[in-house]
Structure 1
């Protein structure tokens, strides 16, 4: 016990954190570690190194003398043992491989690994002959891996040298595995090349990773191609198995051939001609991105070089492909999806991780490398340096990203070395973080310093899209400091086109207008634009987004709070970009009411306001302007414009569904009509110098009555009045007409906002009938003259504005007609069906595709609404819950009372929602109404993205609509037509 205490005291003085534990380990090992303990203190994890060292001494006592005698060897071995438990285990099992670590310089790998498996290194096609070549390969490979790690951890090799040597070592292992495969498979009739991809191809491999490859084969002279390919496939499979199969010494790594044409669904091996035929006809841009890194690594290197030479021509012309922009966007979405799905401690796929930097560098190479051969580099750091030299990336940005990339790669190596496991997740344990920090040379506070440096580099990399894609665009059009990288106008246009801008020259003009000059406004725009350009690129229509941003900025740019808000509130700027790049309708609203930018700050600001709150504000506006009715209604319309913007943004942001959109728009229209009606009544009363001699109400019909208004809906209404007891009927009637006409005039005045057109054509006798009727006149007409279609139309009747008591009396008077106690008669049913069939045949616009017409097409809005209304006409007399003006509520009530099958109701509701969303999306996107799914592919793609489909989801969107409405039409045929 005293001896252990003495050893513990000594170890404590040396700096061991757990001196007692380390002392027990030293005493139990019963070996003399004098001359070595002091060296252990400097390694990243002294306790880990001590554990492996004592085991090594027990296995091979002479090893300690070797370490004492050779200072360089001692430093390299202890550095490895202080980081890697896995390589420590290996050296304990194979202490003879310590001699490899005695060599401080680069060693040759290919010949050594071939000799290890019993193959002749100088043979044209070496074959293995060792007793157990799989085990021999693993032992030899790991010994050389330990040699690389020793040079890495002692600073005798730079990061590029380490990754290159790891890649060459992997290539040598593939060659040795191929020699093992040749011992199993006779390959006299075929040439097989192994082309390295990914990090292996770029010579930037890490310590433990899948090795990506592609196999290319050619029959030898006179050999049958089919037979040769079959042999090559067996040879490739045997080679992959030689690397991946488990042995007492473990396995090497997975050999992944998934980057081949057609991926895992395609043949493992192809001829060169077959590869080229696929790439020329079928390949996606991401496949050419992968081919950036292709390099022959094993097998027939001459054939591999021919493959790389041929595909390079295709790689550097990929940016001219018709689908380049779409493929680039798909690549960016995949990266973003990884970023969202991984935690921030994931240094490869997380935000600010390695994949962010690699992807951006490769995309810039594809965009600019077609015209600039100096950018055609496989590895990330040389490519980034070339981009900087060529002026495509600012020098400071390039330096910062290179530092971030190098730091993250070093951390990645240290994480993997510990257990030789493929991991990219930073630990949370303090001991693990301390080992990482000390391995990177941080001694005072390794945990704190490591965490600080990691976050700094990750934040630098997180801004890579701003730094690499967007900021240099400004240098093409604006005066910026000479230290910044500069792009030619052509190069800037090429970059914008690659990011999805259809009119890059127009985009450059907008950028110039926004950012040129030395004003504070231009300075802030130069800060904002790189970020905004990236966000616009993620929207359905980047060009429209940038144009809208310029228009809003032109109106508000001199307003102090506007640019400050965008600069300081990321959420506002991001949502603004999304809205401007999605909706011309919302953009138009914003350019006419730019102060509404302030609504974009939070979801709470976009919450739909209650009708009561809106009416209070509208009433105040009317009262404030007194006798000036036109100014009063203009203020009410400005209020409506702001609220339309609020609803549209909430809709685009997915905060409200289509039913709530309809209710919000209908309520807003009610408030607008009520406020305008108040103004109209005030004016008519003032002109007649007395109070209105009649009570007046507005009855909502159609979609307004159903609380299902769309952005493009007119206000279908009927006007009803009831003379006051002492009023002359003629005076009352004249006053009512004057009010109705003034209401329509006020709401139709030219103004910079979407009009609310009053459509009274659903009144009795249509346009030939009087504009306004008394309550008694309506009752008399409906009692004597009404037709089935009018009863059906009245199912949507709802009080909207004016005298609520009169409105209630009107509705009570029509209930017997629209909710008949005995249900609809057979004659009326035949008339309704005949009218529906006639409408389908005659009202569809000429040239329209019925299957894609959302209103009148099969399974569209009209189909669903007529089914709901027929159920109401039949059953609402005895089923009060059916007495609703809303389509989906009627379907739900019919289902609850088993008047409609639940499955049928689901099909109808799904079609109604889909069609309604499309009609609203058309208005939002184009700024003008439309009832058909667009035939134009670009327009259809914009609508599809607004509805949540990916940029390449246009055909899926159209097919989904056809499928949903086809199913709904089957229900209509059964339920409505009785088929």
Structure 2
């Protein structure tokens, strides 16, 4: 009763229960390299494109089931589970990108000097995925200056070529097959959002970030990292992202923009329950705003504070005296609890959590996470925690404050 998502998966693939009986099941979580090795073995290059899609879904769903069981049996922390989900998504994106490129080349050839990489944003970028996370992606490419068309029997201009590749990759990740759906993909964080091209040339990406990006887009960029594509080009893209994050900017303008943005978010859909862990004042969004604002207003002087992961960023900000230790501990404690509860809730329910209808198994997991005897106590604990985080938000992102709680000027 605690995890209908896992029960549904098990009914579809009963053989997955055998994995739970393996001696190493509860002692090991595959890292990126092991996921890549598993995909190489189970999704070989010899498979046809449609077979690759099915096999990736089989591997993906089996690995997600394993991670979910570990969360529910409290043998994997929320942070390690998030990394495991993220490593899995990264491996699947990489394998499907290879398949899409191989499928395109016989018809369209290649673009001279062409390179492409996939940039993860949001939860995947921060290595903080859950069982229900979608993929926030940006596709960035480059090519020789004199390249005007691809080399295949049917030619495409470079921008058409990489747009076609992107569309095929999105379909490979999202399309339902006989083996189910893998992920939902959100491309709205690309330059100019839905109005912009679906794939972006590196020079255009850099120009947009430096000259046209809104403050919220600069904050979102703190989560960006390359997860697939040509490795040398990926290094170049990661450096371009870091350079954009370290650009000079007015701290008070960033703070004012962030406060207005948060007010707009709350006005458009005001959360009413402390169980809305993401959106409630004092919830996860407030923590993310605090961390992202402090990163982009201090990175020029201290690039070492940058991290896509919220908890790692809090540590970096503390090590560099941007955050004082008591404030950092409050943020870290709240973030860890929110992440633990989110991992449990995403496995246990679809949609908002209603304490009145919580199954006994789910209730037990929640109370264990909050170290509370019942849901009513858990509810009060969350309310108190959210009030304290909201106060930190107001202190750091005040109407006239270009410094963090430590008093360091940005």
TM bracket (short chain): 0.7 to 0.9
Partner of 1:737: none
On the 8 A contact 2:254/2:293 being kept in 1, the answer is: no
Aligned to 1:139: 58
Choose which of 211, 214, 232 in structure 2 pairs with 1:281. 211
Q: Counterpart of 2:355 in 1: which secondary structure?
A: coil
Kindly state the Cα deviation for residue 156 of structure 1 after the two structures are TM-superposed.
3.1
Asked whether the 8 Å contact 1:433–1:450 carries over to 2, the reply is no
Query: How far 1:210 moved relative to its partner?
Result: 2.1
- Tell me the distance in 1 between the aligned counterparts of 2:360 and 2:399: 35
Q: CA offset at residue 201 of structure 1?
A: 1.2
2:270 aligned with 1:342, yes or no?
yes
Native 8 Å contact 2:54 2:179 kept in 1: yes
In structure 1, stretches of 5+ residues that fail to align are 1-47, 49-82, 121-127, 477-484, 495-979
Deviations 1:95-117 (A, max 9, x none): 33334443220222223235444
Return the offset for 1:162. Answer: 1.7
- Per-residue deviation, residues 150-172 of structure 1 (Å, max 9, x unmatched): 33333333332221221111111
CA displacement 1:170-228 (0-9 Å, x = unmatched):
11121232234235311533322111112211212222122111111123797436723
C-alpha change, 1:473 and 1:270, in structure 2 (3 Å) is: closer
Which residue of structure 2 aligns with residue 153 of structure 1?
Answer: 72
Match of 1:377 among 293, 307, 315: 307
Counterpart pick for 2:202 among 266, 272, 283: 272
Partner of 1:359: 289
**8 Å contact 1:195–1:295 — kept in the other structure?**
yes
Find the partner of 1:196 among 101, 106, 120: 120
Q: 1:413 to 1:435 in 2, by over 3 A?
A: same
1:105 maps to 28
Residue of structure 2 equivalent to 1:238? 168
Of structures 1 and 2, the one scoring higher in RCO (CA 8 A, sep 6+) is: 2
Match of 2:362 in 1: 435
**Distance apart, 1:440 and its partner CA:** 5.0
CA offsets 1:769-798 (integer angstroms, 9 cap, x no match) = xxxxxxxxxxxxxxxxxxxxxxxxxxxxxx
Indicate conservation of the 8 Å contact 1:113/1:176, yes or no: yes
Q: 1:486 aligns to what SS in structure 2?
A: coil
Preserved contact between residue 392 and residue 472 of structure 1 (Cα < 8 Å): no
Query: Residues 720-777 of structure 1: CA distance to partner in whole angstroms, max 9, x if unpaired?
Result: xxxxxxxxxxxxxxxxxxxxxxxxxxxxxxxxxxxxxxxxxxxxxxxxxxxxxxxxxx
| Residue 471 of structure 1: how far off its partner (Å) | 12
CA–CA distance in structure 1, aligned partners of residues 300 and 254 of structure 2: 17
- Are 1:414 and 1:436, in contact at CA under 8 Å, matched by a contact in 2? no
Q: Which residue of 1 aligns with 2:376?
A: 448
Q: Deviations over 1:420-440 (max 9, x none)?
A: x4x4x3323243476144355
Give secondary structure in 2 for the equivalent of 1:332.
Answer: helix
Query: Helix, strand or coil: the match of 1:337?
Result: helix
* Counterpart Cα distance in 1 of 2:50 and 2:241: 40
Determine helix, strand or coil for the equivalent of 1:350: coil
Structure 1 residues 474 and 318: CA distance shift in structure 2, 3 A:
closer
For residues 600-620 of structure 1, the C-alpha deviation after alignment (integer angstroms, 9 at most, x for no partner) is xxxxxxxxxxxxxxxxxxxxx
**Alpha-carbon separation, structure 1, partners of 2:403 and 2:202:** 43
Q: Does 2:353 correspond to 1:426? A: yes
Counterpart of 2:339 in structure 1 is 409
- The residue that corresponds to 2:100 in the other structure is 181
Partner SS for 2:11: helix
Q: CA deviation at 1:244?
A: 1.3
Which residue does 1:397 correspond to in 2? 327
TM-score by length of 1: 0.37
- Using the alignment, how far apart are the partners of 2:286 and 2:360 within structure 1? 23
- Residues 117, 137 of structure 1: 8 Å contact kept: yes
Match of residue 152 from structure 2? none
Query: Quick one: distance in 2 between partners of 1:298 and 1:334?
Result: 31
Listed one character per residue, the Cα deviations across residues 652-711 of structure 1 (whole Å, up to 9, x for unaligned) are xxxxxxxxxxxxxxxxxxxxxxxxxxxxxxxxxxxxxxxxxxxxxxxxxxxxxxxxxxxx
Distance in 2 between the 1:216 and 1:266 partners? 13
Cα gap change, 1:252 to 1:391, in 2 (>3 Å): same
With over 3 angstroms needed to count, the CA separation of the structure-2 counterparts of 1:427 and 1:231, relative to structure 1, is: same
CA distance in 2, matches of 1:467, 1:387: 16
Would the aligned equivalents of 1:153 and 1:439 in 2 still touch at CA under 8 Å? no
CA, structure 1 residues 297+382, in 2 after alignment: closer, same or farther (shift >3 Å)?
same
CA RMSD of aligned residues (A): 2.9
The aligned runs of 1:201-600 (5 Å cut-off) are 201-219=125-143, 223-224=147-148, 227-320=157-250, 325-326=252-253, 328-340=255-267, 341-345=269-273, 346-419=276-349, 421=350, 423=351, 425-432=352-359, 435-441=362-368, 445-469=373-397, 486-488=406-408, 491=409, 494=410
Whole-angstrom distance in 2 between the partners of 1:454 and 1:214: 35
Q: In structure 1, how many angstroms separate the alpha carbons of the residues matched to 2:217 and 2:5?
A: 35
| Residues 344, 350 of structure 1: 8 Å contact kept | yes
Separation in 2, partners of 1:369, 1:221: 32
Structure 2: 5+ residue stretches without partners: 150-155
Cα deviation for residue 404 of structure 1 reads 1.1
Report the Cα distance in structure 1 between the residues aligned to 2:360 and 2:331, rounded to whole angstroms.
Answer: 23
The equivalent residue for 1:7 is: none
Instruction: After TM superposition, list the pairs within 5 Å mapping 1:818-833 onto structure 2.
Output: none
2:299–2:306 contact (8 Å) kept in structure 1: yes
Q: Which residue of 2 aligns with 1:959?
A: none
Give, in whole Å, the separation in 2 of the partners of 1:439 and 1:110. Answer: 33
- Aligned twin of 1:609: none
1:207, 1:220 → 2: CA distance? 40
**How far did 1:326 drift?**
4.2
| CA distance 1:159–1:454, shift in 2 (3 Å) | same
SS of corresponding position for 1:333: helix
Matched, 1:168 2:168: no
Instruction: Note the C-alpha offset of 1:385.
Output: 1.9
* Displacement of 1:408: 1.2
Alignment: residue pair count: 388
Map Cα deviations across residues 461-510 of structure 1 (whole Å, 9 max, x no partner): 2222245446997999xxxxxxxx6324xx1xx4xxxxxxxxxxxxxxxx
Instruction: Look up the SS of the partner of 2:223 in the other structure.
Output: coil
SS at match of 1:429: helix
Structure number with the higher helix fraction is 1
Question: 2:252 & 2:232 partners in 1: Cα distance?
Answer: 35
**C-alpha contact (below 8 Å) 1:393/1:472 kept by paired residues:** no
The CA distance in 1 between the partners of 2:229 and 2:18, in whole Å, is 30
- Of 335-344 and 161-170, the range deviating more from structure 2: 335-344
Kindly indicate whether the alpha-carbon contact (under 8 Å) linking 1:148 and 1:162 is maintained by their aligned counterparts in 2.
yes
CA contact (8 A) 1:138 1:250 kept: yes
Is residue 121–residue 220 contact of structure 2 (8 Å, CA) maintained in 1?
yes
C-alpha distance in structure 1 between counterparts of 2:131 and 2:248, whole Å = 32
Aligned equivalents of 1:137 and 1:349: distance in 2?
A: 33
Q: Secondary structure at the residue paired with 1:109?
A: helix
